[in-house]
Amino acid sequence: MQYLKPASFEEAVAMAGEAHGDVRFLAGGTDLLVRMRMGAVPDVLIDLKHIPGVYDIERTENGGWRIGVAVPGAELTEHAGLRADWPGVVEAVGLIGSTQVQGRATPVGNLANASPAADSVPALIAAGAEVEVLGPGGRRRVAVGDIPAGPGRTRLAQGEVISALYLPPRAAHGGDAYQRFIPRTEMDIAVVGCAVSLSRDGNVITEARVALGAMAPTALMVEEAASALVGTTLGEEALEALSEAASAAGRPIDDKRGTAKFRRHVAGVLARRVALVAYERAGDAK
């Protein structure tokens, strides 16, 4: 295996272009190194952690956030500005693994690993997050939800690298939340994960985005669930419609963590709980 240490993303793309065989970019390595120990060793490993700026968390000109691709969960969960603006994204990232894993694991690695159950992905989708992608064809901005293609597969073209993660500005009176169900109390893979991001005008919900994880081959936005919230004050009728839409979404599978029927039930329960938290947070937000 060849280990490469580019000094810029442009160099990383050039290295990937010249490389042969299985080429992987290395961020925190909490997925990649586990795979390598199991025998899936790439031909070329391109370590992104030495590129200037990859550990930075910065405010963007429009009041959002730019997060470097090597920023680990532990840094994100301790960042006061991010916690204030996007508490749901931060709590989703904070659920990844253990304290040790948090010291390394990045949300971009979580996204590019393309597990349908990845915790940060529904929260990023609900938040309207984007990534910057650099490749032989140039630079482009892509919605987070457009990156995963299926379990372990992304829509990144050969040689393309994610060079930054962007969160939009938090809307006035906006709030988000994420919860998952796992069979154990920690260190397990989500049976279902649910994220809600919404804005309020007084008590009325004016905008909403609902995303589910582990209900389909990729995390998905559920438009019907969001529609059930907009224009309401989150009364019982809205919660019931939300719950039904979340339960009906996707094409969940039966596996050792739960049946498809159980996943549908859990999606409905979680959607209710998460919407209530997001609604409270939006009420508290300035």
Give the C-alpha separation, 103 to 204, whole Å.
39
Judged by CB, which is closer to ligand FAD: 34, or 204? 34
Counting Cβ atoms within 10 Å, is residue 273 exposed (0-12), middle (13-18) or buried (19+)? middle
Give the C-alpha separation, 150 to 193, whole Å.
16
Judged by CB, which is closer to ligand FAD: 63, or 183? 183
Where on the chain is the footprint of ligand FAD (CB under 6 A)?
A: 24-32, 34, 48, 69, 95-97, 101, 104-106, 108-110, 112-113, 118-119, 161-162, 187
Q: What is the DSSP letter of 136?
A: T
Judged by CB, which is closer to ligand FAD: 87, or 94? 94
Judged by CB, which is closer to ligand FAD: 34, or 172? 34
Q: What is the DSSP letter of 152?
A: T
| Shortest distance, position 18 Cβ to ligand FAD, whole Å | 17
114-143 b/e (C-beta count within 10 Å ≥ 16 → b): bbbbbbbbbbbbbbbbbbbbbbeeeeeeee
Residue type, 122: P
- In the complex, residue closest to ligand FAD by CB: 109
Judged by CB, which is closer to ligand FAD: 188, or 224? 188
| Shortest distance, position 179 Cβ to ligand FAD, whole Å | 13
| Shortest distance, position 250 Cβ to ligand FAD, whole Å | 17
At 94, list the tokens: 């904070």
| Shortest distance, position 105 Cβ to ligand FAD, whole Å | 4
Per-residue three-class SS string for 93-109: HHCCCCHHHHCCCCHHH
Residue type, 212: L
| Shortest distance, position 167 Cβ to ligand FAD, whole Å | 16
| Shortest distance, position 189 Cβ to ligand FAD, whole Å | 6
| Shortest distance, position 126 Cβ to ligand FAD, whole Å | 15
Judged by CB, which is closer to ligand FAD: 125, or 205? 125
Element (H, E) at 2: strand 2-4
Q: How many CB atoms lie within 10 A of CB 164?
A: 23
In DSSP terms, 174 is beta-bridged to 199
Counting Cβ atoms within 10 Å, is residue 1 exposed (0-12), middle (13-18) or buried (19+)? exposed
| Shortest distance, position 201 Cβ to ligand FAD, whole Å | 34
Residue type, 78: E
At 14, list the tokens: 């050039």
Are 165 and 143 in contact by the 8 Å Cβ rule? The answer is no
Judged by CB, which is closer to ligand FAD: 190, or 198? 190
Judged by CB, which is closer to ligand FAD: 158, or 233? 158
